[in-house]
A and B are shown apart, each in its own frame.
Chain A
């Protein structure tokens, strides 16, 4: 046990980053589940990450804006290609998404083949470094997410495919750089999955569950001195499992988990 890390200055920015990510990813995740395109975030996140790596490889890293524009363009292109695929060949969409993920991941290895820090960049992209986040980094993301949430709830983006894909790409591009692919996937899918039987309280319940997962994960990672991102993923899953069991008991179903 180690209580050194239990300090708001240390855990606070990471927690705020988590809240920001949850704010957009919970409603997006519910839509992802409804559409049955679970792995789309892995594909889009990997494509956005590929954009970042490409910008680095072209030595554009002096300009942070160029990097963000490259990442967003890459993610948007990927998302629109997937949207086109959904319209044209809905029956093979999931297979195309999976293939795009593998292609983007392999392309990253090729881009980094001549970079002595290649392995680190690849790992950073996946695991993320949520504890390194500082408050200044959160400001542009907060602005972007306010805009996304405004369009999402104001214009009913959930029901318009094109808008969904665009907002999804922008949200993921920002979050994957803050917290990494694993946490992005967990924030999208796990709360949405846990609350799918909660009816009209689903969104609120998913937000609460996500917040509890991040808070517990950060505190536990401080106490056990383990990498925070991975502990948060596990806490999100444990809270989701517990709430599924509770709701199953309450609604009188014998086994609520894994049974659709």
Chain B
């Protein structure tokens, strides 16, 4: 009897250890946090370093960033130099060898998609130092489709006990994504060749997918005001090819768009850019639903 009580107590003590602890995932951007949640559900506890209201090129050092990096089992980021301003130094401060680049604990989404905007030749004088191409890959849903299986495989590798579940969830996600893709493609058909101006070159993949015709950029370098000759040139271009909309992300100021809208008449459009970018973009599905709906409003 006494032995039985003891063994039950012992089993109770072990119980919390036997219950599978959720993987801790550190996601650099909200779109990957959303994808991890789709693929892992309750198996992962996801921390997101940036919000849709922040430019992922640049973030402020906060204590929680280091704390989360220290305990992460998996770090999921865009890569392609998007986070070079802060991720390397955060990893150095986090001192977590399990998530260093090159290990299984580090997942770089850009490795799984064909990159657009890769410079033909690298020249510092041209000021373009995104050597691996435009890093804003989340805005083409076909890229999400390419990244999801790789991410599911990585989750399965790190947490083999739940591998079957990750694969099952991937299949389910793929099915829902395929039907959403069909819906989006039909809805977006009239948007083809729609002329647009963008605040900064963050929309390359959306343009590529929807066939939008980008005819200019307001702010060629983020955070650095454009020169007057650049703005004059843009005005001239718009006189020849009027743009329907001038597109900006939630973290970009409206002032430049307002200026152009007054000068040349395109509709100002704030697209969600990533998950959380507006009230409708609560997950990856909402991100594209809302983006297309907003673009349709600009198209008469």
- In the complex, A92 has a CB within 8 A of chain B: no
Chain A residues in 8 Å Cβ range of B224: 109, 112-113, 115, 118-119
- In the complex, A158 has a CB within 8 A of chain B: no
Closest to A112 in B: B224
- Report the Cα distance A228→B68, complex, angstroms: 16
Q: Which residues of B112-131 are within 8 A (CB) of A? A: 124-130
- B125: contacting residue among A6, A114, A218, CB under 8 A: A114
Question: Given known contacts A131-B93, A228-B61, is B223 in contact with A4 (CB within 8 Å)?
Answer: no
- In the complex, A258 has a CB within 8 A of chain B: no
Chain B residues in 8 Å Cβ range of A117: 57, 85, 129
Question: Given known contacts A5-B66, A5-B67, is B221 in contact with A114 (CB within 8 Å)?
Answer: yes
User: A225, B63: Cβ atoms under 8 Å?
Assistant: yes
- A131: contacting residue among B57, B58, B61, CB under 8 A: B61
- In the complex, B92 has a CB within 8 A of chain A: yes
User: A120, B57: Cβ atoms under 8 Å?
Assistant: yes
- Report the Cα distance A7→B128, complex, angstroms: 39
Q: Which residues of A147-203 are within 8 A (CB) of B? A: none
Binds B, one of A76-84, A95-103, A121-129: A121-129
Question: Given known contacts A7-B67, A117-B85, A120-B57, is B62 in contact with A131 (CB within 8 Å)?
Answer: yes
Chain B residues in 8 Å Cβ range of A204: none
Chain B residues in 8 Å Cβ range of A93: none
- B93: contacting residue among A118, A127, A134, A228, CB under 8 A: A134
User: B221, A119: Cβ atoms under 8 Å?
Assistant: yes
User: A116, B62: Cβ atoms under 8 Å?
Assistant: no
- In the complex, B64 has a CB within 8 A of chain A: yes
Chain A residues in 8 Å Cβ range of B67: 4-5, 7, 10
User: A132, B221: Cβ atoms under 8 Å?
Assistant: no
* Residue among A112, A123, A132, A222 with the highest chain B CB neighbour number at 10 A: A132
- In the complex, B294 has a CB within 8 A of chain A: no
* Residue among B128, B222, B224 with the highest chain A CB neighbour number at 10 A: B224
Number of A residues, CB within 8 Å of B: 36
- A5: contacting residue among B57, B64, B124, B125, CB under 8 A: B64
- Report the Cα distance A221→B224, complex, angstroms: 29
- B62: contacting residue among A112, A120, A226, CB under 8 A: A226
- Report the Cα distance A221→B245, complex, angstroms: 40
Chain A residues in 8 Å Cβ range of B103: none
Chain A residues in 8 Å Cβ range of B293: none
- In the complex, A255 has a CB within 8 A of chain B: no
Q: Sort chain B's interface into a size bin.
A: 20 to 34
- In the complex, B179 has a CB within 8 A of chain A: no
Q: In the complex, how many angstroms separate the beta carbon of A137 from the nearest chain B beta carbon? A: 10
Closest to B200 in A: A116
Q: Which residues of B80-103 are within 8 A (CB) of A? A: 85-86, 89-90, 92-93, 95
Chain B residues in 8 Å Cβ range of A225: 62-64
Chain A residues in 8 Å Cβ range of B186: none
Closest to B224 in A: A118
User: B93, A132: Cβ atoms under 8 Å?
Assistant: yes
- In the complex, A59 has a CB within 8 A of chain B: yes
Question: Given known contacts A114-B125, A115-B127, A117-B129, is B61 in contact with A130 (CB within 8 Å)?
Answer: yes
Question: Given known contacts A119-B58, A132-B93, is B63 in contact with A113 (CB within 8 Å)?
Answer: no
- Report the Cα distance A117→B93, complex, angstroms: 22
Q: Which residues of A237-254 are within 8 A (CB) of B? A: none
Q: Which residues of B121-158 are within 8 A (CB) of A? A: 124-130
User: B62, A118: Cβ atoms under 8 Å?
Assistant: no
- A227: contacting residue among B62, B68, B127, B130, CB under 8 A: B62
- Report the Cα distance A13→B224, complex, angstroms: 32
- In the complex, B4 has a CB within 8 A of chain A: no
User: A4, B68: Cβ atoms under 8 Å?
Assistant: yes
- Report the Cα distance A119→B225, complex, angstroms: 9
Q: In the complex, how many angstroms separate the beta carbon of A49 from the nearest chain B beta carbon? A: 15
* Residue among B65, B86, B223 with the highest chain A CB neighbour number at 10 A: B223
- Report the Cα distance A228→B125, complex, angstroms: 35
- In the complex, B227 has a CB within 8 A of chain A: yes
- In the complex, A63 has a CB within 8 A of chain B: no
Question: Given known contacts A109-B224, A123-B58, A134-B92, is B63 in contact with A116 (CB within 8 Å)?
Answer: no
Q: In the complex, how many angstroms separate the beta carbon of A1 from the nearest chain B beta carbon? A: 11
Chain A residues in 8 Å Cβ range of B182: none
Q: In the complex, how many angstroms separate the beta carbon of B274 from the nearest chain A beta carbon? A: 19
- Report the Cα distance A113→B125, complex, angstroms: 11
Chain A residues in 8 Å Cβ range of B61: 129-132, 227-229
Chain B residues in 8 Å Cβ range of A122: 223
In the complex, 17 of the A-B residue pairs with CB atoms within 8 angstroms, ordered by the A residue number, are: A4-B68, A7-B63, A7-B67, A10-B66, A10-B70, A114-B125, A114-B221, A116-B129, A118-B224, A120-B85, A120-B223, A122-B223, A129-B89, A131-B65, A131-B93, A225-B63, A227-B62
Top 9 A-B pairs ranked by shortest CB distance? A119-B223, A5-B63, A131-B61, A114-B127, A227-B60, A4-B67, A222-B63, A118-B224, A120-B58
Given contacts A10-B66, A222-B64, A225-B64, 12 further A-B contacts (CB under 8 A): A4-B64, A7-B70, A9-B70, A9-B95, A13-B93, A113-B221, A118-B221, A119-B221, A119-B223, A131-B62, A131-B93, A229-B61
